[in-house]
Structure 1
Amino acid sequence: MHDEVERRLRWLTRITLMGTLLTALVILVGAWTRLVDAGLGCPDWPGCYGRLLVPDSEHAALRHPDVPLDPFKAWVEMAHRYVASFLGLVVISAVVLGWQLRRRPGYPWRISLALLVVILIQGAFGAFTVTLKLWPQVVTLHLLGGLSVLMLFFWLHLRIRHSWKDRVVGCRSINALWIIGLSLLVLQLALGGWVTSNYAGIACLGFPTCNGQWWPTMDLSEGFHLTQTVGPNYLHGQLHADARTAIQVVHRLGALLLGVALLVLWWRYRQLKNVGRALAAAICVYALQVALGIANVLLWLPLWLALLHTAGAVALTLSVGWAWWCWRQESDSISTERQFLPTTAI
């Protein structure tokens, strides 16, 4: 029985690591799909003009005469769907393999179920992205969903590796500093999604000023109007220039706040060896991500650089998640040590 448990844990460790890497790939392929304007390369879902493979122009014209076939964009969109579908199979495999371990102390069965639920929601958002014609709210939530899958896979991998030691990870209440830091990270990722879904990446020319001004003309109410009409084709966006400028400026301010929060976290926990190193690594990734964002503005958003910026968001998410994991582990170690210290020493 012990050998069977060990075998399953070994396979789950591999599968969850593969799932983490595959999720990062899916996010990057999704970004590439958007950047080459292939998000509506197939006007229907889950097939492409009613087929599981991209059909010829004649069939496409019969199926959707109002949407001419662009073979390149259609294949890019279908490639994204194929990779995402394979990711779904990896999630199901992790849940099936973990079923017999669900009552084992320390096994993160609830995280496995959460991962399954989120991947199913992601599939629905993938469909809505096409049927609602790139509605910014759906595109942004789709990106956040992908990053949620990434973190759930990563956390599941860490927890399963931890369970090999037959230890139960304590459920500690998170403190205010981490709440602020993680909340700002999520907010910044959402702002990044809002920038890209509204095509506001180069709404500001120049850096650190925006269009030659420190505080340019902006339309915040329109830029962050979350009840936009469903129905128009949002390819290339529908917002006017001042609204897009507002989105870009708020995204820059969010990056500044996130940087301050990471520095505060590092300063607070720098004396904890593993946590300090992990937060220092996260700050380095953050600095690189800021540099990529600035370069995208100055170089007018070249495809390869925009993809690197998305990869930077993935790396930043993982690095902050790793720092949080190290902090939880450090807290567990400190608590364990204190249990064996004399009362006078505490």
Structure 2
Amino acid sequence: MLHTTLAQMAITALIVALLPLSMVWISKDVDKYRKLVWISVFLTFDLIVFGAFTRLTDSGLGCPDWPGCYGLANPFLAHEEIRAAEALMPTGPVTMVKAWIEMIHRYLAMGIGILIMAMMAVSWYRWKKGRDSGAGRAGYEPGYPTALFLFVCLQGAFGAWTVTLKLQPVIVTMHLLLGMGLLAMLAWLGGRQDQALRPMAAVGTPRTGLPGLRRLAVASGLVLLVQLFLGGWVSTNYATLACTEFPLCGGKLVPEMDFEHGFHLWRELGKTAAGHYLPFSALTAVHWVHRNFALVVVLVLGWTVARAWRFAPLRRIARGIAIVLVLQALTGVATIYLNFPLTIAVLHNAGAAALVLLLTMLNYRAKFLADAPAPH
């Protein structure tokens, strides 16, 4: 790839990042760093949703190379190559619309990367300035933003491998999980900045039950992580319509399933590890496990919500988790009954991201309340 192409892409990514950075700069917030963190949370949520749209519209290979499009900075410049590929295979993965969807997704990801770099630079600057002056520097410890930067680099690598390995299911699924992980890490940092600016009052909060709630909240996060993997595995293997009825599948509670091929991780899209076409029973197994594990998610997160409701500072987040959990169940069933409409499928992915965000906030606040000194 030419250096001019890389320079053009870098300039475009900077332009994408300039709008949120300008919003932070002109805002009247007392803590602009906190504003930057929460804008990054918002845009990362949007990126996950748009990533789902990219995947569900089969646009992941809209530009079949990385980081550019046919070695160029955008589909405008690669117009001839895209049109030639589209003429050769009109229903294939490369079209002008799909190329733009894919490149918009990449540029949004690059923009978020720049925001995280800015976050890291500000934290190091303020931390060093506070250390040199002897003033307090709480809330600007640079270790966490630096870890975020390394994490987003790893996420970018998986984004590249998603394209170069031609949508290999395990790579695409890991790309999704890392995106959710980035959202959780940013939300945790946002909670830390909220606490630094406006400490959450722990006075009057009952102490009994908090350690148990913390453990339950962590367990809920692990259960949700498993379900995110299963959901990503369904999506990346195109197994959403392997079962077209609910609660039965193929007219049975337990249909014929091939777990060995369905859950063999390292293989090409639509193929077994031996290179044969993936049997339908393998897709059924993938779908059926995700569907039934959803019941575990509802039970564990529902119990967590019920326990969190006892604590006034956690009640609002608990209510949010309960609402999103119900909507997730509804959109999941609607996806099956309505024959996989794009809008509902994207909303189902958005609901998963919302659960990650809310559960992270619940974990942070439960940790703070449990660690706060007991009132005398």
TM norm structure 1: 0.85
Moved more, 109-118 or 141-150: 109-118
Matched-pair contact (CA < 8 Å) for 2:86–2:95:
no
Q: 1:137 to 1:92 in 2, by over 3 A?
A: same
Q: Distance in 2 between matches of 1:273 and 1:214?
A: 41
Q: Percent identity?
A: 36
> How many angstroms does 1:66 deviate by?
8.0
The corresponding residue for 2:126 is 101
Say whether the 8 Å CA contact 1:133–1:231 is kept in structure 2. Answer: no
Quote the RMSD (CA, aligned, Å).
Answer: 3.0
CA, structure 1 residues 52+332, in 2 after alignment: closer, same or farther (shift >3 Å)?
A: same
Flag the 1:61–1:166 CA change in 2: closer, same or farther, 3 A.
closer
**1:18 equivalent in structure 2:** 39
Q: Tell me the SS of whatever aligns to 1:199.
A: coil
Match of 2:195 in 1: 162
Q: Is 1:203 equivalent to 2:242 in the alignment?
A: yes
Q: Which moved more, 1:206-215 or 1:130-139?
A: 206-215
Runs of 4+ in 1 over 4 A off after TM superposition: 59-69, 172-175, 229-232
Q: What letter is aligned with 2:63?
A: C
Change (3 A) 1:78 1:211: same
- CA–CA distance in 1 between the matches of 2:33 and 2:61? 36
Q: 1:316, CA displacement in angstroms? A: 1.1
Query: CA offset at residue 281 of structure 1?
Result: 2.3
Structure 1: tracts of 5 or more residues without a match: 1-6, 341-346
Contact 1:224 1:247 in 2 (8 A): yes
Question: What's the counterpart of residue 264 of structure 2?
Answer: 225
| Structure 2 partner of 1:344 | none
Aligned match of 1:114: 147
2:249 and 2:255 in contact (8 A); partners too: yes
Q: Distance in 2 between the 1:28 and 1:247 partners?
A: 22
Q: Classify the secondary structure of the residue corresponding to 1:336.
A: coil
1:284 to 308, 323, 341: 323
Q: 1:150 aligns with which of 172, 183, 187?
A: 183
> Which of 358, 362, 369 lines up with 1:319 in the alignment?
358
Deviation readout 1:261-298 (Å, 9 max, x if unpaired): 11222333432122244223212211110110000011
Query: Partner letter of residue 84 of structure 1?
Result: A
1:331 is aligned to 370
The reply to whether residue 126 of structure 1 matches residue 172 of structure 2 is no
After superposition, the C-alpha distances for 1:288-312 in whole angstroms (9 at most, x for unaligned) are 1011000001111111111111111
> Does residue 184 of the first structure (1) align with residue 223 of the second (2)?
yes
Give the TM-score, by structure 2 length.
Answer: 0.79
Cα distance, 1:57 vs. partner? 4.7
- 1:307 is aligned to 346
Q: Which of 102, 111, 131 pairs up with 1:77?
A: 102
1:100, 1:150 → 2: CA distance?
24
Conserved? CA contact 2:116–2:149, under 8 Å: yes
